[in-house]
Amino acid sequence: MAGALSSRGCRRLRGAQLKDLLKEKHCVLFDCDGVIWNGEKPVAGAPEVVNMLKKRGKSVFFVTNNCTRPRESYVQKFLRLGFKDVVQSEILSSSYCSAIYLRDVAKLQGKVYVIGCDGVHKELREAGVQFIEDDAAVPGATISDCPLESDVRAVLVGYDDELNFLKLAKACCYLRNPDCLFLATDRDPWHPLRGGRVTPGSGSLAAALETAAERKATVIGKPSRFMFQCIASQFGVDPRRAIMVGDRLETDILFGWSCGVDTVLTLTGVSTLEQAQAYRDSLAPEKAICVPDYVVDSIADFLPAL
């Protein structure tokens, strides 16, 4: 199987092939960071690509593991960076989808204990999911003497740049109850910052809690299929007529593979062509499923085909 995949992956998309591919696909899913922007800088040509795709009648969705913003704030960011007509329903973030999961799939009765940030809190509030926003903890409080609430039915862990030991310890105590759900927004290990620095991602916090709780979290973000299920159920998208464009092999490309969607790696973000080719040439099945079908230097490569 790996061999069969090997011969197919990492095809360079140019001119006529790109045109044919876009003719075949009705729906384009984009990751955001490293694909259509890097921080506050749009990838050159990205606003035009998104605009042209929509003009050609394609459905466009933005599927991001970045849980730090609520969707309304993404709409503002799109506008600020020159994307003129992106609407909230086209944006699926791991915080929004976590809220949808808790409300519609888990049908949670009780509260969620959240390790997270503003983006997570706002989406939960919007979805009407009750949660505990921790917590300017009482100075000097420890896990031995701090109060715990009795109606916590789920723990959700996402990006939290104010994570502390007490939060982790409380989450761990709630998870002693086997009926308490354990969710993570995503498993992203780290994110690039300017100047070569990095910040740990939600995945690193989830891993700490998984170790302490001796349980595995249900992951909402890519590469889990749930975000695609949200799109497919709301908008009736056929995976065979969709394409996923991303910059990270282990999240975006694996997500596409898991959902039966063709994948394009764009080289404006985290993963490199060399990594993709090494995965393609490897015989390990867990690497083969992270090999993109196609590669472009940037999504601006789409422009001539539009």
Nearest-angstrom CA–CA distance, 56 and 26: 9
Binding site for substrate, residues?
Answer: 191, 222
For the bound state, the minimum distance from the C-beta of residue 247 to Mg ion, rounded and expressed in Å, comes to: 4
Is 31 catalytic? The answer is yes
Is 104 catalytic? The answer is no
Cα 221 to Cα 101, 208, 229: the distances in Å are 11, 18, 11
Buried b / exposed e along 4-35 (16+ C-beta atoms within 10 A) = ebbeebbeebeeeebeebbeebbbbbbbbbbb
Q: Which residue number, 90 or 134, has a Cβ lying nearer to Mg ion?
A: 90
Q: Which residue number, 28 or 168, has a Cβ lying nearer to Mg ion?
A: 28
Per annotation, catalytic residue among 33, 160, 293, 301: 33
Say how many C-beta atoms besides its own lie within 10 A of residue 139's C-beta: 5
For the bound state, the minimum distance from the C-beta of residue 52 to Mg ion, rounded and expressed in Å, comes to: 22
Would you say 101 and 186 are in contact if contact means Cβ atoms under 8 Å apart? no
Binding site for Mg(2+), residues?
Answer: 31, 33, 247
For the bound state, the minimum distance from the C-beta of residue 31 to Mg ion, rounded and expressed in Å, comes to: 4
Would you say 231 and 92 are in contact if contact means Cβ atoms under 8 Å apart? yes
Who contacts 196 (Cβ-Cβ below 8 Å, separation ≥6)?
A: none
Asked if omega into 292 is within 30° of 0 (cis), the reply is no
Binding site, residues?
Answer: 31, 33, 191, 222, 247
Q: Which residue number, 36 or 172, has a Cβ lying nearer to Mg ion?
A: 36
Q: Which residue number, 34 or 221, has a Cβ lying nearer to Mg ion?
A: 34
Per annotation, catalytic residue among 31, 134, 160, 293: 31
For the bound state, the minimum distance from the C-beta of residue 189 to Mg ion, rounded and expressed in Å, comes to: 12
- Which residues lie near Mg ion (CB under 5 A)? 31, 33-34, 247, 269
What does the block give as tokens for 51? Answer: 């605009």
Q: Which residues are catalytic?
A: 31, 33
